């Protein structure tokens, strides 16, 4: 599952113009230009981080989401942030985990890459991601962390002069430790 190339991509992504940070806490409170919502296909709110973002942003977010016509798994759409500190919310739909479906990893990777590309289109330079698909969608945290770090590291390496700060927002200390475990496992 993990390989030495992941560590190289994560380290390369930390060049002077690009950084990956880790934060433990509430993504809705982060002072960044954009937060990413692990949304469902309707984009009309739900549980977990999706519900928390909708509650914190206020009813205007739901009103704008109603105009978007939903979102396919692995894709991303953008709205205003309304009552959030973040000016924007990028909504992406992660896959429901199925160990027998090789598309799961590809779709999860696409969530991160699509979100970063959309952020670049809007000249966003600070973005926070939750651990997409690791809640009710059942993606194993360690596998999801590896996919996330690989995708983000690859994008930052390919866009090394863009100047993007990516925050991996961990709702719990346990998720933070999972990211650290994935990175440490590459040193051995």
Cα 145 to Cα 6, 17, 86, 122, 161, distances in angstroms: 11, 23, 23, 26, 25
How far from the centroid of its chain's Cα atoms is residue 67's Cα? 22
Asked whether the predicted pLDDT for residue 6 surpasses 90, the reply is no
Q: Hey, where are the domains in the chain?
A: 4-185
Distance between CA atoms of 184 and 181, rounded to whole angstroms?
5
For residue 82, which of 69, 65, 94 has the smallest C-alpha distance? Answer: 65
What is the DSSP pairing of strand 165-170 with strand 19-24? parallel
Q: What's the CA dihedral at 180, 181, 184, 188 to 10 degrees?
A: -170
Asked whether the predicted pLDDT for residue 2 surpasses 50, the reply is no
Model pLDDT, residue 1: 42
Asked whether the predicted pLDDT for residue 154 surpasses 50, the reply is yes
Indicate the CATH number for domain 4-185: 3.40.220.10
Per-residue burial over 89-126, b = 16 or more CB atoms within 10 Å of its CB, e = otherwise: bbbbbbbebeeeeeebbebbbbbbbbbbebbeeeebbb
Question: Cβ-count burial of 160 within 10 angstroms (0-12 exposed, 13-18 middle, 19+ buried)?
Answer: middle
Lowest mean pLDDT among 3-12, 120-129, 130-139: 3-12
Q: What is the pLDDT of residues 95-132, one digit of tens each?
A: 999 988 989 999 999 999 999 999 999 999 999 999 99
Distance between CA atoms of 82 and 31, rounded to whole angstroms?
13
Model pLDDT, residue 9: 55
Share of the chain above pLDDT 70, in %: 90
């Amino acid at each position: 599952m993990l390989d030495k190339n992941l560590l190289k991509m994560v380290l390369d992504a930390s060049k002077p113009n690009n950084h990956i940070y880790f934060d433990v806490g509430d993504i809705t409170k982060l002072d960044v230009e954009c937060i990413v919502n692990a949304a469902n296909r309707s984009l009309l709110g739900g549980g977990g981080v999706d519900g928390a973002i909708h509650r914190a942003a206020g009813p205007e977010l739901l009103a704008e989401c109603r105009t978007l016509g939903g979102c396919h798994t692995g894709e991303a759409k953008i709205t205003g942030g309304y009552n959030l500190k973040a000016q924007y919310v990028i909504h992406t739909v992660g896959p429901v985990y199925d160990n027998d479906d090789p598309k799961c990893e590809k779709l999860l990777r696409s969530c991160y890459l699509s979100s970063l590309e959309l952020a670049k289109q809007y000249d966003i330079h600070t973005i926070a991601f939750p651990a997409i698909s690791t809640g009710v969608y059942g993606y194993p945290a360690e596998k999801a962390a590896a996919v996330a770090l690989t995708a983000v590291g690859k994008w930052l390496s390919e866009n090394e002069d863009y100047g993007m700060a990516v925050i991996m927002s961990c709702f719990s200390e346990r998720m933070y430790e999972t990211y650290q475990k994935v990175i440490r496992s590459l040193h051995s």
